[in-house]
Amino acid sequence: MNILVCGGAGYIGAHMCMQLAASGHGVFVFDNLSTGHAEAVRWGELIQGDLTVTGDLDRAFKRQNYSAVMHFSAKSLVGESMLHPELYYHNNVTGTLNLLDAMVRHDVKALIFSSSASVYGTPAYSPIDEQHPKAPINPYGRSKLMVETMLADFDAAFGVRSVSLRYFNAAGADPGGVIGEDHDTETHLIPNVLKSVLQPEAHSLRIFGNDYDTPDGTCIRDYIHVVDLCGAHMKALDYLLQGGKTEAFNLGNGKGFSVLDVINAAQKVTGQDINYSIQARRLGDPAVLVASSTKAKSTLGWTPKYTDLNKIIETAWRWHRTQHA
């Protein structure tokens, strides 16, 4: 099958293209390269364009007949969304609306959407299942929830079926070290911890808040390996193409690790002490986010392979060392 991967030059998108190609699918990457990297497009053809430009989308859809679209193209920095909500509604909401319109015009009926745990807001209970109230506390999360609402409406009106995959914290890298996490401005904890080890003079490690209502005062998150995320997308693709209905699924390990837990694990993996400083909390950060992925396991038949934090960090460490060398 031919799959259009929007945002396929980014961290998760590039890993997805690798898995799709390994499964024999034709891969076509649609990306504006604002945060992705052209050199990451190794498994398929790059169609450079922007979701907010209708002509770019029509050009991409005229290039090939697609069985499905995978959508990774989103702005995703919580703090930035608090300061510049207009960027998030323009890119994440308007851009996705343009994509859905193009799918209707070109008769493509299956979409897998990268949603987020941020649609839930501050947890009322943990672990979070899909029935948890949706009350996002930042524009990033609100933009994701708006898209999920649009997806339900486009299914009802046009028969565009979709799966929304609500990620918790994506982490790790290709175990073979071929690709990994490479953001120009890195905000994710694990790569920042590892960069502080490899280049301490250039990358000082900061912890944002140590006064949360958690055992050690730092935020607790559920880390899910990027390879496992992509595996869930493959399962979701099969589900849709076999006639599955529009649905949303959480993707996580069901285990919570604090910021200090991650630092301690990284010290074991790297064999080095890790220094850090405490900063004020970031805007829009809940204290705890841990997933229940029971629904994805039962409906999609998905099971994460990387459940050990040390193993997740080891794959990232392997890739970062190679890049540093």
Which residues belong to the active site? Answer: 140
How many Å is the Cα radius of gyration of the chain? 19
CA distances in angstroms from 248 to 102, 111, 151, 152, listed in the order given: 22, 12, 10, 10
Q: Is 243 helix (H, G, I), strand (E, B) or coil?
A: coil
CA distances in angstroms from 192 to 172, 186, 195, 262, 320, listed in the order given: 12, 7, 5, 11, 10
- Residues 67 and 241: beta-carbon distance below 8 Å: yes
The candidate with the shortest Cα–Cα distance to 36, out of 78, 75, 3, 64, is 75
Q: Which residues make Cβ contacts (< 8 Å) with residue 110, sequence separation at least 6?
A: 67, 68, 69, 160, 161, 162, 237, 240, 241
Helix (H) or strand (E) holding 220: strand 220-221
Measured in residues, the chain has a length of 325
Q: How far is residue 228's CA from residue 224's CA, in Å, rounded to a whole number? A: 7
Tokens 């909390």, residue located: 281
- Output the CA angle 22-27-7, nearest 5 degrees: 110
Q: How far is residue 87's CA from residue 96's CA, in Å, rounded to a whole number? A: 13
